A and B are shown apart, each in its own frame.
Chain A
Amino acid sequence: MTALLRATASEFAKVFSLKSWWLLGLIMVVYVGFTAAALAFFFSDLGAQLAGAGPGAPAPELDPVVAANLVYSSVTAVGLVIPLLFGALLATTEWRHGTLTPTVLAQPRRGIVLAAKAIVAAAMGVVYGVVGLVGSVGLGAPVLAALGEPTALGEPEVIAVLLRTLLATALWSLLGLGLGALLTSQIAAIVIVLAFTQFVEPILRLVASVWEWSASIGRFLPGSATDALVGAGILSSLGALDPSVPSATVDALLWWQGGLVLAALAAVLLVAASLTTMRRDVE
């Protein structure tokens, strides 16, 4: 137990002795804040009039709470790549810079090293979630208010979305750690993280939503599971925004099911890493 506490404190010291952790946080708050502000504008009457058929066109029939949740959930809509990258870098940096050697010399039980990293990944995932919410609520809510829309910040449904967002960012940080520890190559991890989150998964989700059989599989994709967990997501709400988008009718996962899907995926990656790459010779 003492060993795990020490290893965890050491991992925190590693994170905070480099610049990357706050650079990622800065990108998070700016990127998510900008997205939230843009969405808030888009969901307002003013935005709808500008985008729509001209003055007088009806605003989308969107419940104010759903709209607010979509704004605030910009963290999970666009920002999950940040905790994912953080987790991946937490692992791959050790191989990239050869620091795994002193790390396992100081703590030869490698399972403890990986467990300590998992604790740090989850904790920092929550931190990035908070940072993201500072962006999405901090910029989204004022824009909604300024355009005469309700901010819905007191609504229990909105508060639930905000809290589950923190769970989502923690789980994605763990996913990144598992992926990074399994790949060990920093370049490969970054490329896969960016390609999957920005390109591959969104396309897979769109394609999967066309047929019922594929939609029932597609809801287990990490992004769909995250939308289920958080309770809001742009891709899963496309139908509500634009009825012309084809959408098969498959029941979405419940929020806790979405969380379990992500947790199980992270656990599989971490266990696989502890059985393979973490056992290898440290060169």
Chain B
Amino acid sequence: MVTPTPLTIDSLTKVYGEVTALRDVSFQAAPGRVTGFLGPNGAGKTSTLRILLGLNRATAGSALIDGQRYRDLDAPFHRVGSSLSVDVFHPGRSGRNHLLTLAISAGISSARIDTVLDMVGLSEAGRRAVGGYSLGMRQRLGLASALLGDPDALVLDEPINGLDPDGIRWMRSLLRSLAAEGRTVLLSSHVLSEVQQTVDDVVVIRHGRVVFDGPLATLESGTSRVRVDAADRAALTDALTRAGATVELGSAGLAVLGLDVARTGEVARDAGLALTHLSDESDGLESVFLSLTADAAPPAPAAAEGSAA
């Protein structure tokens, strides 16, 4: 049975020599939901996940799994399964034997190995050396090792990377169904559109700071921008403002922020105003994401990228 297992990152700071990779990062990945941890390469996603899993030490702050540090978990593979990199396999060892070494160490029955190989579609390839695997196959093997302990929570770093379109669809539905069973799923990506159809919640990180944390729907509604016009602009502005929108007078009518097209039309109807123009001027979600993560200055910290990626 799945034990609800929140992943809680609290005021995490990580300094590598001269470079501050994480500054006061806080967020939570909730059970039963897929949380997308997004940001450009080098923003600090991998550092955060590696601290959560006890691989790296935090300079300050904490990262807890259901209130416990990873190293203090009684049976870590049953509480949180993870895949952080596709470069963690010995090329001369078969995928199956890789899983076997982990299963033995974690005290998991070797019967489970065939189950997870089957789940990720590596039943055949599992007997071959990993050296001959494609990027997508190594990605699947990483997921198999994450699923080995039938964990309450999953932490995956760039799990979509290297998958073909079929693989991406498969990964999406698998992660959705794992979350539907009550498991916590935390996955990172540097491209929002890759995970847009998978995630419930979004945490955006930039230069080691969280710049957005909330449901995907909030990020989407934040993008809404409607252009509207009527003969009586003053009355329309008044009605829309009362409905909670921010209204700006533009060159070609009114720019409405905070209401979508349908709601804007309803407000005008309820106020008895005839519209002369109504159009959706929203930015795509991706451009909102880009504006969140874009730099005012050119991206300088190559050092941060090297150490934090």
Contacts from A to B (Cβ < 8 Å)? 2, 6-7, 9-10, 13-14, 17-20, 93, 97-99, 101-109, 281-283
Contact A108 B71 (CB under 8 A): yes
Contact A101 B105 (CB under 8 A): no
Contact B54 A104 (CB under 8 A): yes
Contacts from B to A (Cβ < 8 Å)? 50, 53-57, 70-71, 73, 76-77, 82, 84-85, 87-94, 97-98, 100-102, 104-107, 145
- Set of chain B residues within 8 Å of A108, measured between Cβ atoms: 54, 70-71, 73, 76
**In whole angstroms, how far apart are the Cα atoms of A26 and B73 in the complex?**
42
Q: How far is the CB of B232 from chain A (nearest CB, A)?
A: 64
Contact A98 B85 (CB under 8 A): yes
Using known A-B contacts A6-B105, A14-B101, A102-B102, determine if residue A281 contacts B55 with beta carbons closer than 8 Å: yes
- Set of chain A residues within 8 Å of B70, measured between Cβ atoms: 108
**In whole angstroms, how far apart are the Cα atoms of A97 and B87 in the complex?**
7
| Nearest 4 pairs of A and B residues by beta carbon | A10-B105, A17-B97, A108-B71, A106-B105
Contact B93 A6 (CB under 8 A): no
- Set of chain A residues within 8 Å of B105, measured between Cβ atoms: 6-7, 9-10, 103, 106-107
Q: How far is the CB of A184 from chain B (nearest CB, A)?
A: 15
* One of A9, A17, A106 near B93 (C-beta < 8 A): A17
* One of A6, A9, A13, A101 near B97 (C-beta < 8 A): A13
Closest to B97 in A: A17
- Set of chain A residues within 8 Å of B56, measured between Cβ atoms: 281-283
Using known A-B contacts A105-B76, A109-B71, A281-B50, determine if residue A13 contacts B88 with beta carbons closer than 8 Å: no
* One of B54, B55, B93, B102 near A10 (C-beta < 8 A): B102
Most chain B Cβ neighbours within 10 Å, of A6, A106, A283: A106
Q: How far is the CB of A171 from chain B (nearest CB, A)?
A: 26
**In whole angstroms, how far apart are the Cα atoms of A106 and B87 in the complex?**
16
- Set of chain A residues within 8 Å of B104, measured between Cβ atoms: 6, 9-10, 13
Contact B88 A10 (CB under 8 A): no
Closest to B130 in A: A97
* One of A6, A14, A105, A109 near B53 (C-beta < 8 A): A105
Q: How far is the CB of B308 from chain A (nearest CB, A)?
A: 10
Is chain A's interface secondary structure helix, strand, loop, or mixed overall? helix
**In whole angstroms, how far apart are the Cα atoms of A9 and B100 in the complex?**
10
**In whole angstroms, how far apart are the Cα atoms of A17 and B102 in the complex?**
13
Closest to B55 in A: A282
**In whole angstroms, how far apart are the Cα atoms of A136 and B84 in the complex?**
47
Q: How far is the CB of B17 from chain A (nearest CB, A)?
A: 12
**In whole angstroms, how far apart are the Cα atoms of A19 and B105 in the complex?**
21
**In whole angstroms, how far apart are the Cα atoms of A242 and B203 in the complex?**
77
* One of A18, A20, A93, A281 near B57 (C-beta < 8 A): A281
- Set of chain B residues within 8 Å of A281, measured between Cβ atoms: 50, 55-57
**In whole angstroms, how far apart are the Cα atoms of A99 and B55 in the complex?**
12
Closest to A93 in B: B90
**In whole angstroms, how far apart are the Cα atoms of A13 and B97 in the complex?**
8
Q: How far is the CB of A13 from chain B (nearest CB, A)?
A: 5
- Set of chain A residues within 8 Å of B57, measured between Cβ atoms: 281
Contact B100 A13 (CB under 8 A): yes
- Set of chain A residues within 8 Å of B106, measured between Cβ atoms: 6, 106-107
* One of A2, A17, A93, A107 near B100 (C-beta < 8 A): A17
Contact A101 B77 (CB under 8 A): no
Using known A-B contacts A18-B92, A93-B90, determine if residue A101 contacts B84 with beta carbons closer than 8 Å: yes
Q: A6-B104, A281-B50 are in contact. List 9 more A-B contacts (CB 8 A).
A: A7-B105, A10-B102, A13-B104, A14-B101, A98-B87, A106-B105, A106-B106, A281-B56, A281-B57
Q: How far is the CB of B120 from chain A (nearest CB, A)?
A: 15
Q: How far is the CB of A254 from chain B (nearest CB, A)?
A: 40
Contact B92 A19 (CB under 8 A): yes
**In whole angstroms, how far apart are the Cα atoms of A93 and B92 in the complex?**
11
Using known A-B contacts A2-B107, A109-B71, determine if residue A98 contacts B88 with beta carbons closer than 8 Å: yes
